Chain A
Amino acid sequence: MTDILARRTLEEPAVEQAIEDLHGVLDQLWHDAAFVPAMDQMAFSTAVIEAASNVVRHGVAAQGSELLLGVELTVASGYLRAVISEIGAAPLDPVPDLEGPDLTALPDDALLEDYDESGRGLSMIRALVTTVTVERQGDSNVWVLSRDAGEGH
């Protein structure tokens, strides 16, 4: 059985306020799990906020539904896990490309105009966690982010 060391959840309408509230929930999680190394806390929090912001910005409610953001954060021995759900959402179309563009693809002498102002969220998530998946479950699109952390990592 997996040893769960800390757990926090949030579920509310997928609007900007949910992102501010999620920052608070992450602060509570690290208060409960202060033993998690600072680098792991920072990387995981950043990935979670990116994924949740993606839901608020791009999530589409299914007809007759209100779009909710559901977040379940778990600290276990050896890893950190976030389940981020777009509840009451239309199916993702297209399904996001989790391979995404390479962040370091621009040459060293790239000009400022070569740098886009958006589109970095998914590649950042991939770089910050060990695994990321997205799948349809019932009326929800569910993102699962997992980062190896703690002893042995």
Chain B
Amino acid sequence: MEFTTQDKGRYTEVAASGRLNMVAAPKLREVINDVVAAGGKRIVVNLAETSFMDSSGLGALIGCLKLARQSGGDLRIAAVQPQVTMVLELTSMHRVLTPHGTPDEAFPND
């Protein structure tokens, strides 16, 4: 899995491409840690190119969300594909990780 971090002004986008499984989950945590350590408050994980997520990947997203909130920010997810939607709904995690259509919609202009 490849991660690409980009400063979008209103938020930092982390695009995740590939399979978010037990191999990729620790890497996601590192990437989000780095964004938070660099002062990033609003983070969008763009899942448009994430074809698969398992419970390790979901656990990493929850850990990253907690980290972002603890540092006074927030983490949102966008462009979720069908398999990821299935896992979020199966585990009821869509309650705390609500999917947004696009990264821009995750943090609208305020």
Residues of A within 8 A of B (CB): 16, 19-20, 23, 38, 42-43, 45-46, 49-50, 53, 56-57, 103-104, 106, 108, 110, 112-113, 115-118, 120-121, 123-124, 127-128
Q: Tally of A-B residue pairs with Cβ under 8 A?
A: 75
B109 within 8 A of A: no
Interface locus among B15-23, B30-38, B40-48? B15-23
A103–B55 touching, CB < 8 Å = no
A124–B56 touching, CB < 8 Å = no
With A16-B22, A20-B23, A108-B95 in contact, do A128 and B62 touch (Cβ < 8 Å)? no
A120–B59 touching, CB < 8 Å = yes
Q: Can you name the residue of chain B whose Cβ is closest to the Cβ of A121?
A: B55
Q: List 14 A-B contacts (CB under 8 A).
A: A16-B22, A23-B19, A42-B82, A45-B52, A46-B86, A53-B54, A56-B22, A103-B90, A110-B95, A115-B62, A117-B62, A121-B54, A124-B54, A124-B91
Complex CA gap A124/B59 in Å reads: 13
With A23-B52, A117-B59, A120-B55 in contact, do A49 and B86 touch (Cβ < 8 Å)? no
Interface of B is mostly: helix
B69–A112 touching, CB < 8 Å = yes
Interface of A is mostly: helix
B87–A46 touching, CB < 8 Å = yes
A104–B92 touching, CB < 8 Å = yes
A57–B58 touching, CB < 8 Å = no
- For the complex formed, measure the closest distance between the CB of A48 and the CB atoms of chain B, giving whole angstroms: 10
Complex CA gap A123/B56 in Å reads: 13
A118–B22 touching, CB < 8 Å = no
Complex CA gap A38/B51 in Å reads: 13
Q: Can you name the residue of chain A whose Cβ is closest to the Cβ of B87?
A: A46
A128–B90 touching, CB < 8 Å = yes
Query: Which residue from A38, A42, A49, A112 sits with its C-beta under 8 Å from B21?
Result: A49
